[in-house]
Amino acid sequence: MLLVSMTNIAVDNALAKAATIGPAPGVMIRAGTPHLTDIAQNSAICLQKLIDERQKELEQERRRLEEQISTLSADPAVVGLARVDTELEGFDMGVYRAAEVRLARAGALAAREAELAQVRRQETGAALELANLDDRFRMVHMEYTAAETARQYIADATGCQRTQDDLKLAMGNAVTAISKLEDERDRLLRSSPQPGNGAGLGTVT
């Protein structure tokens, strides 16, 4: 509700009568310059008084907050936080994440390069071993070729050995046959009459 009048005193009088019911501060507000002292001094009605009271309360709250801030500023945790804030001044999370990605890629690249170097060392070692095997193969082949004549001699000697063994066997068989024949001859000689023993010549059947 807005109450207006041609004179300021009329407004003050109306507010003074209404203020007898004891309204809460701010329910009725006197805008402009009051002429009645009761209205001018009434902090529940006079706008400037209301502002002053509110400012006083706000000033008290401000001082209380400043004291609290001062107390908190001396707290070690807050001091450490302030130090961290100072150290992180200008910190950019996006740049930090990008740097992390670059570091991770650099680490992966270094690992791959180390693996590649290891594989190349293994390849070099395998090539050297293959070259050594080639050299050994050539040497063995040369020795094999050089031993061809010896192998032929050995084969001939083996053949001669077999022939000799066959001849020894044949000679053994011949000796056995000769021994049998000699035994048969001796038996026949023993069974035949000898001249001058008075026996006539017999007929051998």
pTM: 0.30
Read off the pLDDT band of 197 (50, 70, 90).
Answer: low
* Residue 200 pLDDT > 80: no
Question: Is residue 28 within 8 Å of residue 12, measured between CB atoms?
Answer: no
pLDDT of residue 2: 82
Q: Angle of helix 148-191 relative to helix 93-146, nearest 10 degrees?
A: 40
Read off the pLDDT band of 195 (50, 70, 90).
Answer: low
Question: Is residue 45 within 8 Å of residue 30, measured between CB atoms?
Answer: yes
pLDDT tens, residue by residue, 52-87:
877 888 888 888 998 888 888 788 888 888 888 888
pLDDT tens, residue by residue, 4-49:
888 888 888 888 888 787 777 778 778 878 888 888 878 777 778 7
Instruction: State how far the Cα of 106 lies from the Cα of 155, in Å rounded to an integer.
Output: 70
pLDDT of residue 17: 84
